[in-house]
Amino acid sequence: MSKGAILVTGGAGFIGSSFVALCVASGYHVVVLDKLTYAGDRSNLEWIKGGWTLVEGDISDAALVTRLLTDHKIGGVVNMAAESHVDNSISTPAAFIETNIVGSFRMLEACRQYWNALSGKNK
């Protein structure tokens, strides 16, 4: 029996996929939102038997985040999406700003609007 759905961004990474497995084993359905760049790979999730859905996308896409929150009736969000390789930040810092700051802000704003739209009994 499912405990409900949670959204895990960056869930196709090494640490994220382990967290997804823990959530699935605990009875949650997990919607994984991952950009599938250098750190995320769908093969990191393939060993987890059911209980998850992978959506390839960017946390900066507020419309996508809103659609996932609404369509899956998400009850919680864990953000693990990040540009994390320090050596990459030296040569291409804009990607770090876009994902880690702007993307996180857009995702959080979509979550705040989703939460505010829920009726009292669904919060």
Greater model confidence, 86 or 104: 104
- DSSP codes, 19-45: HHHHHHHTTEEEEEEE--SSS--GGGT
Per-residue pLDDT, 95: 82
Please give the Cα distance from 45 to 60 (Å, whole number).
Answer: 22
| Sheet architecture: strand order including 74-79 | 52-56, 28-34, 4-9, 74-79
Backbone angles phi, psi at 118, to 5 degrees: -70, 145
What is the mean pLDDT of the segment spanning 11-40? Answer: 95
Q: Give 67-99 pLDDT, tens digit per residue.
A: 999 999 999 999 999 877 677 677 878 888 888
CB 57 within 8 A of CB 77: no
Confidence band of 45 (pLDDT split at 50, 70, 90): very high
Give the lowest-confidence range in 11-20, 60-69, 93-102. 93-102
Please give the Cα distance from 48 to 45 (Å, whole number).
Answer: 6
3-state SS assignment for residue 79: strand
